[in-house]
Amino acid sequence: MMIKMDPRDIERNVIRLIGDDWMLVSAGTETKFNTMTASWGGMGFLWNKPVAFVFIRPQRYTFEFTERYDTLTLSFFDPRYRKALSVCGSHSGRDTDKVALSGLTPWYTPSGNVAFGEATWVLEGRKLYAEMLDPARFVDASLSEKWYASGDFHKMYVVEITDAWKNG
């Protein structure tokens, strides 16, 4: 059962939480949504709001959903679900039923956002700012060469964390 919480009470180190443990970024509605694994991003405090940052490449099917909808969710899991996260990070919702393949159970928040019932924590986010990364703005140009050889620059979304949930 998901219990509402204050995002400030997530005590896991954010670098480990996102970079090591990964998360699912999901957007859409009960009838049509998509999810993908992400390990790049962050959390912090901006414009006097708790915020999260996610980076999504335009070729992801999830991108169509993060563009179309104003809200998204981030779901965090314990290591038992690593395999499910690998599945969601190596197949596309364009041609795969990731829910069936991963064995995860969609959970719908009271506001109608989609996350997963097995998650330890779920954050709901409302887009505040979105921008494609710009090759001309890399202060360290080697990053642009290293990560974007084919020009598929991420879009960065800054989302306000509007609600947070923990599995209790």
Ligand X SMILES: Cc1cc2nc3c(=O)[nH]c(=O)nc-3n(C[C@H](O)[C@H](O)[C@H](O)COP(=O)(O)O)c2cc1C
Residues that bind ligand X (CB under 6 A): 22, 34, 36-40, 55-57, 60-62, 86, 89-94, 154
Q: What share of the chain is helix, strand, coil (3-state, %, to 5)?
A: 25, 40, 35
For residue 48, the minimal CB distance to ligand X (Å) is 26
- Using the minimum distance from each CB to ligand X, give the nearer residue, 6 or 152: 152
For residue 9, the minimal CB distance to ligand X (Å) is 24
Q: Where are the beta strands (DSSP E) in the chain?
A: 2-5, 23-28, 33-38, 41-46, 49-56, 71-76, 106-108, 114-116, 121-132, 155-167
CA 128/CA 130 separation, integer angstroms: 7
- Using the minimum distance from each CB to ligand X, give the nearer residue, 7 or 89: 89
CA 79/CA 136 separation, integer angstroms: 38
- Using the minimum distance from each CB to ligand X, give the nearer residue, 2 or 28: 28
For residue 20, the minimal CB distance to ligand X (Å) is 10
- Using the minimum distance from each CB to ligand X, give the nearer residue, 32 or 94: 94
For residue 11, the minimal CB distance to ligand X (Å) is 23
Provide the 8-state DSSP code for 12: S
For residue 137, the minimal CB distance to ligand X (Å) is 19
State the residue number with the nearest CB to ligand X.
Answer: 89
| C-beta of residue 75 within 8 angstroms of C-beta of residue 84 | no
| C-beta of residue 62 within 8 angstroms of C-beta of residue 106 | no
- Using the minimum distance from each CB to ligand X, give the nearer residue, 90 or 111: 90
